[in-house]
Structure 1
Amino acid sequence: VSALPPLFGRLVIIGALGGFLWFSLLWFAGVTSAIALVNVITAIFEEDFNIVRRKGAWIAFAIVFLTGVFVNIEGAMKTKELTDYLDLADFYAGSLLLLVVALIEVIAVLWLWGISESYKEMHKGAFITVPKWYWTIVAGVIAPIYLIVMLVWFTVTGALTAAARPDNIFGWIAVVMLIAMFILGLAINKIALYRRYSREIAGGE
């Protein structure tokens, strides 16, 4: 993206028009993605916690606002590392936690729920059938091993980078915020699952 402005600048009028259209579409894609993400949180509050949609939307907005406002505050204060909060949040949430959540999903779906049950659920309404041996070996064995190796490697090598170490108060705020959001997310999802599937959980289905 950073190479596009000079490119559009060389094309004069056509470049100006193309740049305007390109970055307008990019902005629109970002806004719609943000709305979609907030809508997921709003839907959880509305469907599983019986909170009015308007109120749930405000709660979701408050959560998103609190997690992102420190980027602007830090930049306005002109600290030593202007992107310390953003770097840490991107490193842990955008990189490290992706591996952690993926590993949790694999363990929960394939090991706790079971290969057979997850295999049946995956093929409900599906047009393409995946061989069960493939699902068992690749998803049940290779995937978790690969994720564990990646997680260990990424943790060891990533911990040595500057992005993994908080250098100022905003870096520590990012660490605390990420831990709090992770715990809050787990709690909300657990409550939502137990409320929606209480009978299945009680019956061991």
Structure 2
Amino acid sequence: MQENREQWATKIGFILAAIGSAVGLGNIWRFPYVVYSNGGGAFLIPYLCAIFTAGIPLLILEYGMGHKFKGSTPLSLARANKKFEWIGWWPIISSSVILCYYSMILSWTIKYMTMSFTKAWGQDSNSFFYNDFLKLSDSPLNFGSIVWPILIGIAIIWIINWFICYKGIKSGIEKTSKILLPSLLVIMIIIVLRGITLEGASVGLNILFTPDWDKVKNPQVWIAAYGQVFFSLSIGTGIMMTYSSYLPKKTDINNSAFMTAFANCGFEFLSAIGVFAILGVMATSQGVPMEEVVTGGIGLAFIAFPKVFTIMGVWGNILGVLFFSSLVFAGITSSVSLVEAISSAIIDKFGGERKKVVTYMCLIGFTTSIVFASNAGLYLLDIMDNFINNYGIVVVGLLEAFVMGWIIKPKVIREHTNKISYFKIGKWWDVIIKYVTPTLLTIILVQSLINEFKNPYGGYDLVSLLLYGWAIIALGIIGGLLISKKTWKNSRVDNISSEEIV
């Protein structure tokens, strides 16, 4: 085992870094729309069930694995059972792809943050985004040319990622998390406080939180709740096991998992209030029903919000800068965690000094990201993100639960975390890991596959879906299997003694 594995300076540093990883762009632009379209206030019931029966148990599993086996995700799984090392490499490969297109989205947010000072998107934010800013081509297979402002933004993001991870755990990631996360919270509170005091805000909030109890009976709403919790907590991406591997021997793992999940949950609801208050303002000022202005994802951030900022006078400039700053801060804390998960796995497997590995990885990452600065960048993001989230990450979570539930046995992790945690988890956790989580994730996976074959995603042609979707899934599986065949340079896996494992 590595003798000099770096550690977090403080427990709060780890918690903030973990929350920073979980709190990403999806909390701000995905969660509000998911709540709205799945029963409003009634969505709280399946959402909280999902937190307790999937989110927190899986966080305990990943924290416990990383802490007990003291390694990155592939190393932790290899130490648990060498046969399943490849499962640890799959999320690392997926995270590498995510990191490349994530840098493109963050490039957009940086540019829009600067444009907020003058509202440079003009009166037609929709046309500006697709035609003037992205210069979007007519097909995922038509790359066109490089959009230089986007490429420059991508370079800036990779430099930030490199600088933070180059500095290490204590001096880089921990210090950055202690600055960015509180700043993000303050910004979001300002947006919410101003948003709810504007005329029309109550219209948006009423639409958001008015419960539609009939929807609670709909299985699709429950699937949406579990999907949201799973995706928003950075589970199945290789991050949480890696982060927990840097914890000191005596750390309250169980409590840390609860704190991370609830902090992430709280931020999601805070974001939802701010987003729907501002959308209510937009609907009121334009005299249209909320249904016409509500949207999620990229449409919300780069089309709907710029449109409402345009009609808000000076406050539109201020809220625009704050809103896009919040996206930048949320995105950086997440992208840094992806860089760390990938570089830690490489260092563990192949050896090498952190600074060199991070430098080479960021150079390769930036070079790969150039394709996303092309006129087809949005198409590539859309297809890859759908397949990685709906298939890659879900299957990894399912395999983790299966391996720990049926091969390694949950008791191994439960007894380890209970020894060092103030709050003890009982045998109910074993039941969740063995039966509940695998069943729920299987349902989500089957549902996604049925939808995929009934209606191919996004109406894209089969070649594009095979090239940018299914090929990425295959890359994760085949790449994981091939890398797992290589011998470990930096860490002993076989025949390690019980004293070497915490």
Instruction: Bin the TM-score by the shorter chain.
Output: 0.7 to 0.9
Is the aligned partner of 1:144 residue 2:438? yes
Match of 1:42 among 335, 343, 352: 343
Contact kept in structure 1, 2:309 and 2:320, CA below 8 Å: yes
Alignment equivalent of 1:95, drawn from 368, 382, 390:
390
Q: Could you tell me which amino acid in structure 1 is paired with residue 494 of structure 2? A: S
Instruction: Give, in angstroms, the shift of residue 102 of structure 1.
Output: 1.0
Given the two structures, how large is their TM-score scaled by the length of structure 2? 0.34
173-182 or 61-70: bigger deviation: 61-70
Deviation at 1:171, TM superposition (A): 4.1
Q: Return the letter of the residue paired with 1:138.
A: I
Q: Distance in 1 between matches of 2:456 and 2:390?
A: 14
Aligned to 1:197: 493
Aligned-partner SS, 1:5: helix
Aligned to 1:51: 352
The one of 426, 429, 451 equivalent to 1:157 is: 451
Q: Distance in 1 between matches of 2:472 and 2:483?
A: 16
Query: 1:19 offset after TM fit, Å?
Result: 0.9
> Residues 107 and 192 (structure 1 numbering): CA distance in 2 closer, same or farther, change over 3 Å?
farther
What is the distance in 2 between the residues matched to 1:23 and 1:117? 44
| Shift in Å, 1:182 | 4.0
Letter of the 1:131 counterpart: G
Give the 3 Å change call, closer, same or farther, for CA 192–89 of structure 1 in structure 2: farther
After alignment, is 45-54 or 190-199 more displaced?
Answer: 190-199
Q: How many residues align?
A: 196
SS in 2 for 1:198: coil
- The equivalent residue for 2:406 is 111
Could you list the per-position Cα deviations for residues 35-89 of structure 1 after superposition, in whole angstroms to 9, with x for gaps in the alignment?
Answer: 221122122223442212233124433564466443333527xxxxx61x32321
Corresponding residue number in structure 2 for 1:79: none
Once the two structures are aligned, what percentage of the paired residues are identical?
23
TM-score (norm 1): 0.76
Q: For 2:440, what is the secondary structure of its paired residue?
A: helix
Distance 1:65 1:113 in 2: 38
Residue in structure 2 matching 1:28, options 317, 329, 338: 329
Residue in 2 that maps onto 1:167: 461
For the 8 Å contact 2:347–2:490, the answer to whether it is kept is no
Quick one: structure 1 residues 46 and 106, their matched pair in 2 at CA, closer, same or farther if it must change by over 3 Å? same
Is 1:44–1:192's contact at 8 Å kept on the other side of the alignment? no
Is contact 1:42–1:57 with CA below 8 Å preserved after alignment? yes
Distance 2:416 2:490 in 1: 19
C-alpha change, 1:182 and 1:66, in structure 2 (3 Å) is farther
Larger RCO of the pair (alpha carbons < 8 Å, separation 6+): 2
**Contact 1:89–1:178 (8 Å) recurs in 2:** no
Contact 2:343 2:357 in 1 (8 A): yes
Gaps of 5+ in 2: 1-299
Rounded to whole Å, the distance in 2 between the matches of 1:7 and 1:37 is 33
Question: For the residues of structure 2 that align with 1:15 and 1:50, how far apart are their CA atoms?
Answer: 50
Structure 1 residues 135 and 141: alpha-carbon distance in aligned structure 2, compared to 1, 3 A threshold: same
CA RMSD after TM alignment = 3.3
SS at match of 1:11: coil
> Residue type of the partner of 1:198?
D
Mark the CA change 1:186 to 1:50 in structure 2 (over 3 Å): closer, same or farther: same
Deviations 1:157-190 (A, max 9, x none): 2233332886276544323344224433455567
Query: In 2, Cα distance between the equivalents of 1:149 and 1:168?
Result: 25
